[in-house]
Structure formats: structure tokens, C-alpha cells
Structure 1
Amino acid sequence: MSRFFGARVPRCVRHVHVNMPWAMLSKELPVIEEERFHVELGFTGEDLDRLDWKSLDGSVALLRSWGCGLTIHGPFWELCAGSCDALIRRVTLLRWHQILDVAARVGPHHVVCHTGFDPRHHREQKKAWVSRALALLEPLVDRAERLGVRLCLENVWEEDPSLHEDILSRLDSPFLGFCLDVGHQHAFSRTPLAVWLEALGGRLLEVHLHDNDGSRDDHLPVGMGTIDFGLLFETLARQGRQPLLTVEPHTKEHLRHTLVNLDKILPPGWTGAEHG
């Protein structure tokens, strides 16, 4: 009997990562120890500027001793890889190098970053935007390869998969892949989920799971919105893929509901072993 779940522990717990802001980690260590959650450590720019490296090393050692797998989510607020402002690109590059500094200590499966592309502002300059983003990303990917860490570019406001297709095909590195956020796709893209999966399935390293009704990015528990998770897992099975799964609840109650509901829809035999 699990105190956190009030019942048996859902089988999916061993096959997913749980998003955990770095600033909240120390408070949540007891429940992580009890449930042995795999963890996605999320860092803001402020976290990186104030990071206590001894605290990081100690926390990582503790999590590893509990058998917890680790991934990292880099900062994203106000960052933009293809910005027309060189200073914004410089800050973006700085933050991404800082998160790779963390990755060098943590040894995560993946490091997830947002592109910062927003079609409301960048649609008319997309070609130039991508060129600037490629120039910024290339040395990052080279460094990730030296560290043996895979970078994952996550979709947010992108309306279709073309931007990620372009970047991933032109850099063409096994250390750069795609992170599909199904909540963002459902809320911000009018391109069907199946099209995203067909276009980027070959580059897919990770999937972020949360739910909404298609009108905004609510981060509801899985099964409490209108996302077709059946289609998601059916397509992944057809493609022969088991990407790393990360749930992104905003409350403990949402985490409970997400894992209980995910347990009902996760295909039998799913291990997430391809990248987990």
C-alpha cells in the first residue's frame, strides 16, 4: 500500500519520469524516495545563476542511490534561438551552455529545450529565423555529443512540425532529437497529432504527457481533457517506438490522477526502454 497513492502503486511509475522544478526538489525528496519516481529536473535561469553545485551533486547522488532515472529540462522563459536580436540569442546560448554544465554533472538521459519560435511574431521571417537558430545550435550539439548527452527540442507554439523537421534534418545528429509535448500540440497546433508523429517519429526521443481541452495549455491530468492518447500509443506501437515518457503535472493531486489514468491506457509491455 502506497501512502502517496492511497492504494497500490501504478505499474507505469517505473516507466515514466515526473517533472520536478529544481527549487522544489529538496521538499519532495521523501515522496520520491518512497515511490522511486524517475525525475525530470527543471531549471530556470535564476536557478542556474544561484546553483549550489554541492547541493546538486548531493541530490543527484541520493536520487541515483534510489534507482531514479534522470532527465533535465532547461530554462525557456524569454529565450529564442532564432531571435533577430543578437543579445537575445547570446542569452539563449548562455543559458543552454549553463544547462549543459549541469548535464555534465548529472549525466541525464536527455536535456530538453524549447526553440522559442512563435508564429505570431516569427512567421514572416521563418527562413531567417531558422538560419540564426542553426548557427546557435550547431556548437551546442557538438558539445552535447562530447558529453554523450542527447538534446531534445520540444514543440510549444509551433503550428506544424516543419520547423523541427528543418532543424533536425539540417543538423542531422544522433545527439539532437525531438520531444513531442502532446499538450502543447493539442492547444497550439491545428495540425493533427498523427501528422506530427508521422513527420517526426524517426527523430522522437521523448514525449511529455498532460491534457487539455484544446483551448489552452492547462496541464490537466492525463484523461481529463480531450487528447487522444489511444492514437498516440497506437501510432508509437506501429512505428516500433517506445520514447521516454515524462508527465508534467502542476500539483500532487494531478500527479496522482495522471499516473492512475496513465496506468489504464499505457500498452501492456511498455517499458520506455528505447531511451529510458
Structure 2
Amino acid sequence: MNIYLSHLLDDKDMKSVLEQYTVGIETIEFGIGDSLDCKEKSLKNYKKKLGGIIEKPSLSVHGPFLDLCPASFDSLIRKVTMERFESSYCMAKEVGAKHIVFHTCFNPMVYFGSYWEDNSKKFWNEFLADKDDSIKIYIENVYDTSYENIANLIDRVNHPAFSACLDIGHANCFSKVPVEDWVNGLGKRIGHVHIHNNDGIKDSHNGILNGNIPMFDVLSKINEVSKDATWVLELNKYHEIISSLEWIKENNLFK
């Protein structure tokens, strides 16, 4: 089992999980503005921290998102977003990460889907112009109300490193479209999956069975439509991580 675990636990609990299971780490360390302001120090500190947790974990990076928007109509907001995304990408390369995740930053109260899609296409074409596919770049739904614009954007950008991070907890909470429809709609565009459960009202990042998402059906369908997608447990309670990993293993879901 080579699932990733979001580094939301304290280091002691992370070490305990990593000693029991073959899992990678998805770090949020380089999604924080202060870390990006002091890149060399942040890289040194995180490498030291990882060395104390496990020798060589498989790494994924969650990029910055607070106060940023690649689809902004404001050129200065786009500029600082580009700078922050570039910084986090360089840091991901420095630590040998295999993936980096960025939010779509879609806000249904601000953007019509077509405007968001057009603006995002321009941004991502610029960002990806000098990138190869050595690091996979995933865009993650948060407040997105449907999958169509994400699917269209991925198709229009058409870059081998660029695909979707389907966050099934966010889809369940912020969209009226059933999670199963998100899976079918994005299909093979899904390269990465954030897994957590909730009651459809609050984005609580619960364990796999603590919520109303039909997890067995959803994860089985993901295996059908995108069998090579990587999975990340985005949970913040130690006991729910352990029970979720055991449930995945018992049901032979991760391929």
C-alpha cells in the first residue's frame, strides 16, 4: 500500500503511522506564505524534520492557495499567484516530490464558469510553458459546484503533467452533484485523490467511514476510471487514519 498521508498530524504521530504502513507524505509546509518567504531556511528545516520521521518517504507537496487566484481578473493578483506557485514548484523539485497540488480557487459567488475557465487557461499555459512532466501538477476542487469546468480546463491546457486532484470530501460538501458523478465526469483526468468523509454540510475531514459518502462505491469507481491515480488521506486524527488505512487494506481497494 503506497497511499499518501497529509502531514496534518504532529511529527510523533506521523512517525508512528509511517513505522506501521508504507505510506508517503503530502506536506503542506510549502503552501504557507512564511515558508515561501524564507525558502532556504524552510527547505533545510523540512529536510531535517523528514530525516527524523523516516529516511526516504515518497513525497507530494500541497501548494499555496490562501489569498491567491490563478483566474483573477486583476493582473497583480495573477502575478503574485504565479510567483508563489513557481516558488512552491521549485521547492517541490528541491525535496524530490513527485506531485504538487494547487487549488482551482474557483468561487461561485465571483466567477461565471466560462470566465474562470478562460482566465485559468491563460494562467496555466504560462505556468506550464517551461515545465516537463517530471512533477505531476494537480488542480483540486474546493468550492467548485461541478466538475465540467475543471474537465474542460484540463482538456484545453492539454499538458502531460496537468490533471485533476479530485477531493471527494469537498465535492460532497460544496457541490450538489453526487460524488459518483464527479468521478465519472472527470474520469481518466483524475491523477490524484484527496480522501476524507463528512456529513455533506461541514468540511470536517473525517475518517473514511465517518460520513455519508459511499466510500466503497466511490473508491471502486475511481479504480475503474483512473486506476493509476494516487490517493491521499487528508485526515487530522491519528485513530481515524489507522482505521481508514486498515479498511482500505481489508477491502483491497488500493491498486
- TM-score (norm: length of structure 1): 0.81
Specify the code of the residue in structure 2 equivalent to 1:31.
Answer: S
Counterpart pick for 2:244 among 261, 264, 276: 261
Contact 1:33 1:66 in 2 (8 A): no
Identity %: 25
> 1:47: which partner in 2?
35
Distance 1:236 1:32, change over 3 A: closer
Q: Is residue 131 from structure 1 mapped to residue 118 from structure 2 by the alignment?
A: yes
Indicate the SS of the match to 1:75: coil
Deviation string for 1:40-89 (max 9, x for gaps)? 011212221123133344445666x6341110000111111111111111
Counterpart pick for 1:230 among 216, 220, 223: 216
**Aligned mates of 1:45, 1:75 — CA distance in 2:** 7
Contact 1:72 1:111 in 2 (8 A): yes
Deviation string for 1:227-265 (max 9, x for gaps)? 110111221233361421111122xxx232233134224
Q: Is residue 245 from structure 1 mapped to residue 234 from structure 2 by the alignment?
A: no
* Deviation at residue 29 of structure 1 after TM alignment: 6.5
Indicate the SS of the match to 1:15: coil
Q: Is residue 178 from structure 1 mapped to residue 164 from structure 2 by the alignment?
A: yes
1:49-88 superposed matches below 5 A: 49-51=37-39, 52=41, 53-59=43-49, 66-88=55-77
Distance 1:242 1:229, change over 3 A: farther
Counterpart pick for 2:84 among 59, 74, 95: 95
* Deviation at residue 27 of structure 1 after TM alignment: 6.2
Q: Is residue 16 from structure 1 mapped to residue 6 from structure 2 by the alignment?
A: no
Distance 1:271 1:140, change over 3 A: same
Contact 2:26 2:232 in 1 (8 A): yes
**Aligned mates of 1:145, 1:206 — CA distance in 2:** 18
Contact 1:155 1:184 in 2 (8 A): yes
Specify the code of the residue in structure 2 equivalent to 1:50.
Answer: C
Unaligned runs of 5+ in 2: none
Q: Is residue 164 from structure 1 mapped to residue 150 from structure 2 by the alignment?
A: yes
**Aligned mates of 1:235, 1:29 — CA distance in 2:** 29
Counterpart pick for 1:190 among 148, 173, 176: 176
Q: Is residue 105 from structure 1 mapped to residue 94 from structure 2 by the alignment?
A: yes
Specify the code of the residue in structure 1 equivalent to 2:243.
Answer: V
Specify the code of the residue in structure 1 equivalent to 2:84.
Answer: R
- TM-score (norm: length of structure 2): 0.87
* Deviation at residue 153 of structure 1 after TM alignment: 0.3
- Count of paired positions: 250
**Aligned mates of 2:201, 2:103 — CA distance in 1:** 21
Contact 2:164 2:191 in 1 (8 A): yes
Unaligned runs of 5+ in 1: 1-13
Specify the code of the residue in structure 2 equivalent to 1:209.
Answer: I
Contact 2:2 2:23 in 1 (8 A): no
**Aligned mates of 2:239, 2:131 — CA distance in 1:** 34
> 1:122: which partner in 2?
111
Deviation string for 1:142-194 (max 9, x for gaps)? 33316x11100001011110111111000111200100101100000111112
